[in-house]
Amino acid sequence: MYPKSFQYFAPKSVKDAISLLNKLRGEAKVIAGGQSLVPMMKLRLATPAYLIDLNKIKGLEYIKAGRGVIQIGALTRHSTIEKSELIRERVPIMAEAASHIGDPQVRNLGTIGGALAHCDPAGDWGAVILALRGEIRVAGPRGQRTIKADNFFVDAFTPALKPNELITEIRIPTPPEGSGGAYLKMERRAGDFAIAGVAAQITISPDGTCKYAGIGLTALGPTSLRAKKAEEALVGRELTDEVIDEAAEAAAEDAKPFDDPLRGSAEFRRAMARVLTRRAVKQALSRARGG
């Protein structure tokens, strides 16, 4: 099937893109990599009257170290994040997560900003950004504002973006020494949407206790979720097998899975939340210890 006809715009600045969004509010869609929007348009699940292509805007594709943060431009491709030496050195969980996204075509064309704006509950970035306590910078007619990851994922395919706002940057606090992370994802086949996924990021103190824990859940609710009870089960404690099992059980309770005829029952997916959390925390702990 072919998309419904639309009018195409390719602004060369964020200001011009916002102006178009403001003028065409409710009738325009923004395209970056197009790996989510184009298939929806071909199936006519999305039928925008206007399409605003961001790829002519310079200066939105970058990865750089700021003061205590890693700054990632909204148009940065998944493959760029996967291969970035800065990411691999400072926040390797992001490189690991990027390698799980779709197939090479999706990773080469898709962007982190576009994926977050799409807000798919089965998208990989949401859980990782939550686990890292990231922030999303957005621009609109009234200037820029910052949205904490905890407040960004409102519902399925519903981010905390106004119709006339664009994501411009993702900011990730640089993990301190003694940190490690892991992103694990269960899927029917390589490149498929997740049955379940877990992002775990921890920091351990010199005495071996956990002083930071971030756990994000993929495809285990109406949107990306943060497993707060599981985090609380870890912080301030030595991460023994018993403590990790307790956190895994808490993550299963935090999850809000639903029955899916293709990817399993809610009961099965809740069980996978438990299994993947246990494995991800153990892997993150090993990496935090230098393994």
Backbone angles phi, psi at 72, to 5 degrees: -125, 120
Mean pLDDT of 258-264: 91
Average pLDDT of the chain is 95
Confidence of residue 230 (pLDDT cuts 50, 70, 90): very high
236: domain CATH number is 3.30.390.50
Provide the domain count of the chain.
3
Token pair belonging to 213: 């824990």
- Write out the residue range of the structural domain in which residue 128 sits: 63-172
212 within a domain of the structure (yes/no):
yes
pLDDT at 131: 98
Q: What predicted TM-score, i.e. pTM, was given to this entire model?
A: 0.96
pLDDT at 38: 86
Is 80 exceeded by the pLDDT of residue 291?
A: no
Token pair belonging to 198: 């877990």
pLDDT at 245: 98
Is 80 exceeded by the pLDDT of residue 170?
A: yes
Q: Examine the domain organization and report whether 129 and 160 are in the same domain.
A: yes
Q: Which residues have a Cβ under 8 Å from the Cβ of 198 and sit 6 or more positions away?
A: 127, 183, 184, 185, 215, 216, 217, 218, 251, 273, 276, 277, 279, 280
Q: Examine the domain organization and report whether 188 and 278 are in the same domain.
A: yes
Closest alpha carbon to 203 in 285, 283, 119, 112: 285
Token pair belonging to 250: 């808490």
Q: Examine the domain organization and report whether 187 and 168 are in the same domain.
A: no
C-alpha to C-alpha distance for 4 and 42, rounded to whole angstroms: 8
Q: Examine the domain organization and report whether 102 and 190 are in the same domain.
A: no
Q: Examine the domain organization and report whether 67 and 136 are in the same domain.
A: yes
pLDDT digits (tens, 9 = 90+) for 12-45: 999 999 999 999 987 999 999 988 888 888 888 8
